[in-house]
Structure formats: C-alpha cells, structure tokens
Amino acid sequence: MKHLFTLDEWSDFDQTLADAQALKKNPLAQQHLGIGKTLGLLFFNPSLRTRMSTQKAAQNLGLQTLVLNVGQDGWQLEFETGSVMNLNRAEHVKEAAQVVSQYCDILAIRAFASLQNVHDDQAEKVLRSFMEYATIPIVNMESATAHPLQAIADAMTINTHKKKEYPKVVLTWAPHPKPLPQAVPNSFVRMMRHQEASFVIASPSGYALDPKLTQGIKCTNNQREALEGADFVYAKNWSSFSAYGQVLRTDDEWMITQEKMALTREGKFMHCLPVRRNVVVSDAVLDAPNSLVIEQACNRTYAAQAVLQKILQDG
Ligand code: CP
C-alpha cells in the first residue's frame, strides 16, 4: 500500500513535482479519479493551510472529505499495546484505525512532535500506528519529524522562480518565543537532496538539526556569510535537537531583515507560514515583491493533489 510518510520512502518525487506543476495549470484535469471516494483528515493539532489546501486538493480530484479534530471532537486515543485503559483514553488506535478505514479510502493525519523526548518523537507513534492498523493509504500532514507536503510545495516554488540551473538556497534558523518542531526543516533538507543547488543550513550554536539528516550538507553558525549571494532564503524556527525541544535563545540577532536580504543576490524570501512578523522576519521583507510566502501556500493545494492523485492511480 502506498503511504506518504516522509520523502525518503516516497519513490516518485520528481514525477510528483511534475504532476503538481501540471495540476496547477489544470486543477480539474483528473476530477474523475476520486468520484465515489472519500479522504479522511484527522487533526491532532491546529492548521490553516494544510487543512484547507488538502481539502481543496481532494475536491479538485472529485473526492469527498471527512474531517475530525481528534484532539477536540474525537475520543482520546491510546497508542500503547497491552495498556489497561482505565484513565482518560477511551479508544485504542487499533480499533479507531480500522473503523476509519471503513469510511474512507485515504486517510491524512496531522500529529505534531511532543518535544518532550527525542526517542518518542522519532518513533512517530501516531503515524506508524495508523499505518500498521488502518487498511487504507496514510498521508502525512505534518508528523513529529516530517512535513512532506510542505516540502513538495516548496520545491515547486523554488523551481518556478530559479533563474539558473544551480541556485544558492539557504535554510536559516530564525527566532521564535516558543519551542517549535523540526518537521519543516527536516523535510526541506530531504527535499533539497532532490534539487540541483548549492544548499547551506545556517543556525546558531545549539540548533544543529539531526545530524543523520544533514550528513554531507554544508552547515554553518555564520548567518551573514551563508546569506551572501543567496538566490533563496528559507527562514524557519526550530527548537534545539541536541538539547531536545528547548528554546536556547529568543534575541533578534537571527531575524531576517532588509539589511540581511541585501547580502543576497536579490534573493527570494520563503517561509512555510504561519510566521510571527518582526520576530522571525521584518514586515519589510515579508511584504516585499521578493517574498514568495503566499505562492508557497498556494502550491500546497497542488502538492497535496499530486500525492492524492498518485495514490488514487495506484489503487
Ligand atoms: N505550513 C503549514 O503547514 O501551515 P498550517 O500549520 O496552517 O497547516
């Protein structure tokens, strides 16, 4: 069965990217594929873009959608095998996954990292449990360690705007008051392995991403040096991986400003959104013509649509 868990297991990245670009030009071209079928969307966490773009993608393919906010409207789920369920968790994922599989043909799930324990988050209990017990394909709408739909949309955006075969792309950490997961940067790193580009990750001391993911990629603690000559600047906050889940600094030294963008080669600014203005990035950068953030959000629909299309085509 074809699941989208991370881009590492998704064998059709280049074709998916091409399909997403084609669907953007002609969104209703494959509307017959989903007729009579249903996409379920389970949200353990909030969302604006992922929720709406994935439903829009489903509509474009003729799919019906069923949305459940598990955290608020559903029973609290138990994930441990053999547990005595005499506390708050009323339903085991073993039944829930099989039941949802009776109502849906594909199931998309959002379940963020807890940021309490690196081993628990890397175990990806929610996504892996549903993949184990459901009898239908599972699509990751941001799990503890990965956000592949965002990364496909980001690849579309870069490919649309690159002016040369081998652009310089910088993923830079930026400040944020709260601890955020590493899912978006992790998937961006995985996606960049499919791109012809000079790729640099800039982060302050203590904020290196999982070294298993960044092996062989240039990483630096010097943001200004990284930004020099950049064609694309992708800003994102993430909490520390080595001091797992912690916020080590909240000063504005790493905020993206016009003065920093002046170091680039008329670089395009990217962010997955939501973004905290004048914390992560200044108003002036976000509102400038070189900001691609709204286009990134637009591309989320076609990234999701290309993935759903492939799953439907594969039966
Ligand atoms: N970028 C992104 O996933 O946005 P949401 O959290 O609003 O879905």
CATH of the domain at 305: 3.40.50.1370
Residues 112 and 203 in one domain: no
* CB distance 18 to ligand 1 below 6 Å: no
246 alpha carbon – ligand 1 mean position (Å): 21
Going by alpha carbons, the residue nearest to atom 6 of ligand 1 is: 47
Domain range for 42: 13-146+299-313
**Closest ligand 1 atom, residue 297 Cα:** 1
pLDDT of residue 74: 87
Residues 136 and 202 in one domain: no
Going by alpha carbons, the residue nearest to atom 7 of ligand 1 is: 48
Give the length of the chain: 315
* CB distance 50 to ligand 1 below 6 Å: yes
Q: Is residue 3 part of a domain?
A: no
Q: State the amino acid at position 31 in one-letter form.
A: Q
Residues 28 and 49 in one domain: yes
Q: Is residue 5 part of a domain?
A: no
Q: To which residue do tokens 């594929």 refer? A: 33
* CB distance 220 to ligand 1 below 6 Å: no
3 alpha carbon – ligand 1 mean position (Å): 20
Q: Is residue 2 part of a domain?
A: no
Residues 68 and 184 in one domain: no
Indicate the top mutation candidate among 42, 44, 47, 301 to test ligand 1's pocket, ranked by most ligand atoms within 8 A of CB.
Answer: 47
* 115 neighbors 245 (Cβ within 8 angstroms): yes
Question: Kindly report the CA angle at 74 between 135 and 78, in degrees rounded to 5?
Answer: 65
Residues 121 and 162 in one domain: no
pLDDT of residue 129: 98
Residues 208 and 90 in one domain: no
Instruction: Express each pLDDT in 187-199 by its tens digit.
Output: 999 999 999 999 9
Q: Tell me the mean pLDDT per 10 residues along the chain, length 315.
A: 94 95 98 98 97 98 97 91 95 98 98 98 98 98 98 98 97 98 98 97 98 98 98 98 97 98 98 98 98 98 98 93
